[in-house]
Structure 1
Amino acid sequence: MNKTVFISLSIEDLQTVIIDCVNSCLENNKNEQTPAEQPEQLLTVQGAAVFLNLTVSTIYSKVNKGDLPVMKRGKRLYFSKVELLDYVKKGRKKSNSEIEELAESYLFNKK
């Protein structure tokens, strides 16, 4: 149950209280970055191996084949966490019901 308290304030005092509350909320939110504002996370070979649950040698093999998206700076390899997630998602197999829906829509559009 919420308790309601009524107090008597002048308009100027009420405005000051509201402004202070808004500024406090803005300060708290300023320190917390939203996901869109966060810089892109880069992983090393070891970090990518842990992230994808693969061995380091498998990571090197996939990079050599051109399977994994990679950035190279000098002798070091860097992986974007976002690009690695996209790589994993591209390997998703469609379920039988999704395949049936696609087939039905294809046949329906061909009429």
Structure 2
Amino acid sequence: MMMSNVLFYTHNKEDLKRVVRMVVEEIRKTEIVSHTPMNSEEDRLTQKEAARFLGISVTSLISWKKKGLVPYFQIGRSIFFSKVELLELARKNPGLIKPSRK
């Protein structure tokens, strides 16, 4: 029994570009995660530290957290944010982090 290769041409050039971008983005995420210890103590920020890092108020950060706009994790009753995840969020949303006023 002979099997032939069947090719389906259902995707255009833009579809291919979109898929390549998605794959590259996933690879970048993996590289960031593998090179930085996620949720380690050096990556962990309190709500106050995360708000300062993003240049927003703690109230705004809590609001974003409740709306699911910003990733966080909980240890016991304490809420923490990953600096790596916040940086990734900022990369995807230019203008999110305001310049610090030091």
TM-score where L is the length of structure 2: 0.51
**Map 1:7-86 → 2, pairs under 5 A:** 36=35, 40-86=42-88
Structure 2 distance, partners of 1:58, 1:46, is 11
Structure 1 distance, partners of 2:92, 2:63, is 19
Q: Which protein shows a greater Rg?
A: 1
Structure 2 distance, partners of 1:66, 1:42, is 18
**Structure with more of its chain in helix, by fraction:** 1
Structure 1 distance, partners of 2:66, 2:72, is 10
1:85 Cα offset (Å) = 0.3
Kindly report structure 1 stretches of 4+ aligned residues shifted beyond 2 Å.
Answer: 36-40
Contact 2:36–2:84 (CA under 8 A) maintained in structure 1: no
SS at match of 2:74: strand
Whose relative contact order is higher, 1 or 2, with alpha carbons under 8 Å and at least 6 apart? 2
SS at match of 1:59: helix
| AA at the equivalent of 1:62 | W
- Which ranges in structure 1 are unaligned for 5 or more consecutive residues? 1-35, 94-111
Please give the root-mean-square deviation of Cα atoms over the aligned residues, in Å: 2.1
Structure 1 distance, partners of 2:36, 2:90, is 23
